Amino acid sequence: MQGQMQSYPLTLVHPFERAERLFADKPIVSATPTGIQRTTYGQWAERTRRLGGVLDALGISADGRVGTFAWNSARHLELYFAAPCTGRVLHTLNIRLFPEQLQYVADHAQDEVVFADRSLLKLLWPLIDDLPSVKHVVVMDDGVEDEIPDDDRIRDYEALLADAEAVEFHVSDEDSAAAMCYTSGTTGNPKGVVYSHRSSVLHCMSSMFADTLAVSEADVILPVVPMFHANAWGLAQAGVLAGSTFVMPGPDLSPKAVAGLMESERVTFAAGVPTIWMGVLDELDGRDFSSLTRILCGGSAVPKSLSEAYREKIGVPMTQGWGMTETSPLGSVSYIRSGLRDRSEDELANLRALQGVPSPLVEIRIADPETEQAQPWDGESRGEVQCAGPWIAAGYYGGAGGEQFTDDGWLRTGDVGVITPEGYLKLVDRTKDLVKSGGEWISSVELENEIMAHPQVKEAAVIGIRDEKWGERPLACVVPEQGAELDADELRGFLDGRVAKWWIPESFEFIDEVPKTSVGKFSKKTLRERFAEIAT
Amino acid sequence: MQGQMQSYPLTLVHPFERAERLFADKPIVSATPTGIQRTTYGQWAERTRRLGGVLDALGISADGRVGTFAWNSARHLELYFAAPCTGRVLHTLNIRLFPEQLQYVADHAQDEVVFADRSLLKLLWPLIDDLPSVKHVVVMDDGVEDEIPDDDRIRDYEALLADAEAVEFHVSDEDSAAAMCYTSGTTGNPKGVVYSHRSSVLHCMSSMFADTLAVSEADVILPVVPMFHANAWGLAQAGVLAGSTFVMPGPDLSPKAVAGLMESERVTFAAGVPTIWMGVLDELDGRDFSSLTRILCGGSAVPKSLSEAYREKIGVPMTQGWGMTETSPLGSVSYIRSGLRDRSEDELANLRALQGVPSPLVEIRIADPETEQAQPWDGESRGEVQCAGPWIAAGYYGGAGGEQFTDDGWLRTGDVGVITPEGYLKLVDRTKDLVKSGGEWISSVELENEIMAHPQVKEAAVIGIRDEKWGERPLACVVPEQGAELDADELRGFLDGRVAKWWIPESFEFIDEVPKTSVGKFSKKTLRERFAEIAT
């Protein structure tokens, strides 16, 4: 028997039209290199409809990919809705990619047009002749007087908008693609995650729950996280559905600029990676942050000390969110359950340092690395973190990366973790960095942390090396502090009592530097190649 | 181009399994005639899975209708999930229906089983021989020692549960029916609204938004609104998704009992119709309601004076919700927009007395009664309130009531209203009670209110009567206070200056009592029949 409810598709046309109608007088603020620009949802909506007309006028295909190469701004938010609400697919290009990755990504997606900030044109334009699908580069003049190439493919955003007619928005299929975002994994080519209208709307809804991010109309949201990172963690869409005020930070993400906007614009909700908040920490003194109700932090584990520093200084600890491009990204939020709220401040800080409780509609399981069986939520049983839910990827654009999905369709996140009895996810390592010794797992991250606790160690990276007896054993690659006198025996003695005896490496290599990836993470791949031939 | 997100159906299996896993230790409290009963989500979930086995054992069809005839209790909440999560359809029977309506509804839905509170059996059993589809009546013993008929069709809930095996839950089609609820309109037969799994889950999500009801894990919810009224306004499902504590009030809805539960169980969120809260008002003094954060009130317009009395006495004004069985029911909530919060307390009270801002994902329009064109949101332009959205009905069970839907599929609510420029819905009348005079509309409700403002008027009901010149004119049927000396001239003089001149009725009828419907509303149908022959 079927339900008899309206077939009302979940599409981004709804949040757009809701904001246009209900929130026309609410502000959208953009910080630009030439100063603060203020607009309203009403003006934004009118321009967004005309931008739909621009896409028609440029001859973009009915479901063509619309690339953006831009900082966070009201204009970028126009593109966020004009593309999907006319049936096209928004493709946010990461401005921090290496040129060859950028070229790969724009070509793989077959972007037909790229909308680029004038100040970023110098990163994009040198690649243009290797991007045959890109017929137009539309320049969004942000006031930076960088040269604009004299080329037929170059168009001016405001000039196009001035000539365009507003269009009606209509999308009938909620499963059609709305946006895409490539992940820059540490191995292989970047892979494209394709968000549907349905997943985007459901993700917006999930951000508005009282127990997740509680995005609301009264919020003044500062998304420091870029709009090319999983749609600014979904906030750039959720804020529109809720009718929140936006404060778009533009290119200047210096601690002073971020803290200045938080104070002057009376921000209630700010979101960014730990590095941002570490910088802003030095800018807190003497400022008025009384409007602030929460700080969302994610992208990598949030140090307890950082969250506590904010709590102590301004009374607002960090809300930790966990997820990835493939999870839209909201997977879990470090919400404190009502039954745990009477714990000590230190215990609460420990809870906030976990990756949080699965969001409603998201399922998380810990899969045994051998059997793939779901592990108990006992805080001890480790395994790969796997996810299911309506805003979790089922695959990548073009069919790549099939190995990242289980037979029953769950996403393999590549993270290793446990879940506590209270339902808190705690990440331990990346699956590929675990060392398997005698059938048991050694966490390379934990071992590294213990080695780096030695005062004469600057950096340490642990990789697995083949071992006839144990299968694998850990090899510790250690960078000593300058002038340190350090040897393997000293470190083995230091580790004794800090980790299980069988975790203690037989082998240590002393190196000058740990090789890094393009985004600054340890490149264990390089270390593995370098020490491939070592056997215990 | 299609999105590449998981095909994760939105079904009630998700909230159930989430609560089972994450909230096993959280309480569900039921007030019964024999005292307070306490269980946990963990025990509830285990019983609910066995109840699924009971439905199998009773031979209920794969999508058979499972009737309930019960007060709010943990057992009723077991049925709420066991039926839909095994593919059946929960059918909550309104215990206040007249016998012939009840018989009609259970027969129309073809209920195969009815689960009835022992104390309500006396209302149901006399009809049993006119309900050939009902093969079993399962008695839920609530401790009231009412007689249980000696009949093969009678089964005992706990005995069945003790013998049953727990089952796995699985529903693959999110559009399949999850629950149904009949509306008892003032005309014609009751009509069945059929909720899908999808609409139910989306409605749960909508209740958790910070700007709507903000249902959260930390809430202790007291649904005074019955579970046979649009799923206790959806709270009986939303609270499970959120993991809220429930306090189920059982049959005793006296002011003393309700206030007692609010105080002793530290309720944070209570929901009920205005009549309930009028009664509880006298029970506020000397009690500790410090846990309470909000009171949801709906079902009929919330008097400003009632909401203000609560604000003044306990600091918690009422949150007004508007909707109907056909809207699941959350259509709008009287949220105060951030830009209006600095208004005076009196102005805020006026805002709360409106029906509120459309919920995210719900569209509301005011249709001109002549042209059906959408009216501007100017606070002046009246018309029928029409709704669209993913949890709004598209039709009724069995195809009845097609006239309640527009050509483009929107629900005609039968309410007349305006929308203010800030987006607040204000109801004015029911469409069928409007009087059309000379091409213009007279609101019978407003006219009644003005007449009832006369100190010597006890009650007044206005209906339209045919008029050769004007098409229709209002007829005022007035019940004077005892001993009053009142005539038409006096009332016309009183109305002069209170309403537009052309609204003032030529005709008044003085009557002893306004006839009422089964639910206590004015029966204008009866008045129209009685005064059908009057012409001005």
- Decide if B218 and A392 are in contact by the 8 Å CB cutoff: no
In eight-state DSSP terms, residue B361 is T
**B69-81 b/e with 16+ CB inside 10 Å = b?**
bbbbbbbbbbbbb
The pair of structure tokens assigned to A424 is 């808190």
Instruction: Report the run of H or E that residue A294 belongs to, with start and end.
Output: strand A294-297
Q: Is some CB atom of chain B closer than 8 A to the CB atom of A99?
A: no
- Decide if A3 and B210 are in contact by the 8 Å CB cutoff: no
Name the residue among B3, B8, B177 with its Cβ closest to that of A3: B177
- Decide if A358 and B22 are in contact by the 8 Å CB cutoff: yes
Specify the pLDDT at position B459: 87
Residue A445's pLDDT band (cuts 50, 70, 90): confident
Sequence-ordered list of residues with C-beta below 8 angstroms from that of A430, at least 6 positions apart, any chain = A414, A415, A416, A445
CATH architecture of residue range(s) A1-217+224-241: 3-Layer(aba) Sandwich (3.40)
Partners of residue B242 in chain A, C-beta under 8 Å: 209-211, 360
Specify the pLDDT at position A189: 84
Specify the pLDDT at position B266: 98
Q: How many CB pairs under 8 A join A and B?
A: 197
Q: Facing residues of A91 across strands?
A: A67, A180
- CATH class, domain B362-432, is mainly beta
Segment A370-395 shows an average pLDDT of 95
Catalytic site residue from A40, A183, A293, A420 = A183
Specify the pLDDT at position B519: 58
Specify the pLDDT at position B72: 98
Specify the pLDDT at position A301: 78
Segment A500-507 shows an average pLDDT of 92
Q: Facing residues of A383 across strands?
A: A417
Specify the pLDDT at position A187: 60
Contact A56, A85 (CB under 8 A): no
CATH architecture of residue range(s) A363-430: Roll (2.30)
Q: Is some CB atom of chain B closer than 8 A to the CB atom of A32?
A: no
Residue A470: pLDDT above 90? no
CA distance B316 to chain A (A): 19
Q: Is some CB atom of chain B closer than 8 A to the CB atom of A454?
A: no
Q: Is some CB atom of chain A closer than 8 A to the CB atom of B159?
A: no
3-state secondary structure of B67: strand
CATH architecture of residue range(s) B13-209: 3-Layer(aba) Sandwich (3.40)
- Decide if B4 and A205 are in contact by the 8 Å CB cutoff: no
Q: Is some CB atom of chain B closer than 8 A to the CB atom of A365?
A: no
Partners of residue B388 in chain A, C-beta under 8 Å: 6, 8
Q: How many CA atoms lie within 13 A of B459 on its CB side?
A: 11
Chunk chain B into consecutive blocks of 10 residues (it has 536) and report each block's average pLDDT, rounded to whole numbers.
98 98 98 96 98 98 98 98 98 91 96 98 97 98 94 98 98 98 77 98 98 98 96 97 98 97 98 91 95 93 88 95 96 96 95 96 94 95 95 95 93 94 91 82 86 89 89 93 92 93 93 78 84 70
Query: For this structure, is A436 an active site residue?
Result: yes
Terminal CA-CA length for chain B: 65
Q: Is some CB atom of chain A closer than 8 A to the CB atom of B402?
A: no
**Residue that wins the pLDDT comparison between A136 and B514:** A136
Q: Is some CB atom of chain A closer than 8 A to the CB atom of B170?
A: no
Q: Nearest residue of B to residue A5 by CA position?
A: B393
What are the residue boundaries of the structural domains of chain B, listed by start? 13-209, 362-432, 434-530
Give me the DSSP letters along A461-521: EEEEEEETTTEEEEEEEEEEPTT----HHHHHHHHBTTB-GGGS-SEEEE-S---B-TTS-
- Decide if A242 and B361 are in contact by the 8 Å CB cutoff: no
Query: For this structure, is A44 an active site residue?
Result: no
Segment A459-483 shows an average pLDDT of 90
Contact B325, B193 (CB under 8 A): yes
Q: Nearest residue of B to residue A17 by CA position?
A: B363
**Strand pairing class (A425-430; A411-419):** antiparallel
List, by residue number, the catalytic residues of B: 183, 326, 436, 441
Name the residue among B3, B26, B197 with its Cβ closest to that of A196: B3
pLDDT tens, residue by residue, A300-349: 778 888 899 999 999 999 999 999 999 999 999 999 999 999 999 999 99
Whole-angstrom Cα distance, residue B168 to residue A71?
Answer: 48
Catalytic site residue from A326, A384, A448, A472 = A326
Specify the pLDDT at position B520: 64
pLDDT tens, residue by residue, A67-113: 999 999 999 999 999 999 999 999 999 998 889 989 999 999 999 99
Q: Facing residues of A476 across strands?
A: A462, A508
Residue that the structure tokens 């939020």 belong to: A333
Specify the pLDDT at position A471: 85
Partners of residue A319 in chain B, C-beta under 8 Å: none
Q: Is some CB atom of chain A closer than 8 A to the CB atom of B419?
A: no
- Decide if A215 and B216 are in contact by the 8 Å CB cutoff: no
Specify the pLDDT at position A351: 95
CA distance B366 to chain A (A): 14
Q: Is some CB atom of chain B closer than 8 A to the CB atom of A408?
A: no
So what's the ipTM on this one? 0.90
Q: Is some CB atom of chain A closer than 8 A to the CB atom of B195?
A: yes
- Decide if B6 and A388 are in contact by the 8 Å CB cutoff: yes
Q: Facing residues of A209 across strands?
A: B209
Sequence-ordered list of residues with C-beta below 8 angstroms from that of A143, at least 6 positions apart, any chain = A32, A33, A34, A35, A118
Q: Is some CB atom of chain A closer than 8 A to the CB atom of B335?
A: yes
Q: Is some CB atom of chain B closer than 8 A to the CB atom of A361?
A: yes
Q: Facing residues of B461 across strands?
A: B477
CA distance A494 to chain B (A): 40
Partners of residue A339 in chain B, C-beta under 8 Å: 25-26
Q: Is some CB atom of chain B closer than 8 A to the CB atom of A5?
A: yes
Q: Which one of A4, A191, A324, A336 would you mutate to disrupt binding with B, by most B Cβ within 10 Å of its Cβ?
A: A4
Catalytic site residue from A441, A448, A470, A524 = A441
Whole-angstrom Cα distance, residue A153 to residue A150?
Answer: 9
Q: How many CA atoms lie within 13 A of B237 on its CB side?
A: 34
**Which residue type is seen at A263?**
E
pLDDT tens, residue by residue, A280-293: 999 999 999 999 99
Partners of residue B396 in chain A, C-beta under 8 Å: 4
Name the residue among A3, A10, A194 with its Cβ closest to that of B176: A3
- Decide if B392 and A5 are in contact by the 8 Å CB cutoff: yes
Closest-CA residue to A224 (of A363, A147, A318):
A318
Give me the DSSP letters along B91-144: EE--TTS-HHHHHHHHHHHTEEEEEEEGGGHHHHGGGGGG-TT--EEEEE--S-
Contact B382, B366 (CB under 8 A): yes
**Which residue type is seen at B32?**
T
- What is the largest distance, in Å, between two alpha-carbon atoms of chain B? 76
Specify the pLDDT at position A434: 82
Whole-number percent of chain A with pLDDT over 70: 98
Whole-angstrom Cα distance, residue A141 to residue B14?
Answer: 47
Segment A513-533 shows an average pLDDT of 80
Partners of residue A393 in chain B, C-beta under 8 Å: 4-6
Specify the pLDDT at position B536: 52
Specify the pLDDT at position B187: 61
Sequence-ordered list of residues with C-beta below 8 angstroms from that of A86, at least 6 positions apart, any chain = A52, A55, A56, A167, A169
Name the residue among A210, A361, A394 with its Cβ closest to that of B14: A361
Q: Is some CB atom of chain B closer than 8 A to the CB atom of A333?
A: no
Partners of residue B6 in chain A, C-beta under 8 Å: 388-390, 392-394, 409, 411
- Decide if A205 and B360 are in contact by the 8 Å CB cutoff: yes
Sequence-ordered list of residues with C-beta below 8 angstroms from that of B152, at least 6 positions apart, any chain = none
Segment A521-526 shows an average pLDDT of 81
In eight-state DSSP terms, residue A367 is E
Whole-angstrom Cα distance, residue B301 to residue B296?
Answer: 12
Sequence-ordered list of residues with C-beta below 8 angstroms from that of A203, at least 6 positions apart, any chain = A195, A234, A237, A238, A328, A330, A391
Let me know if domain A434-530 sits in CATH 3.30.300.30: yes
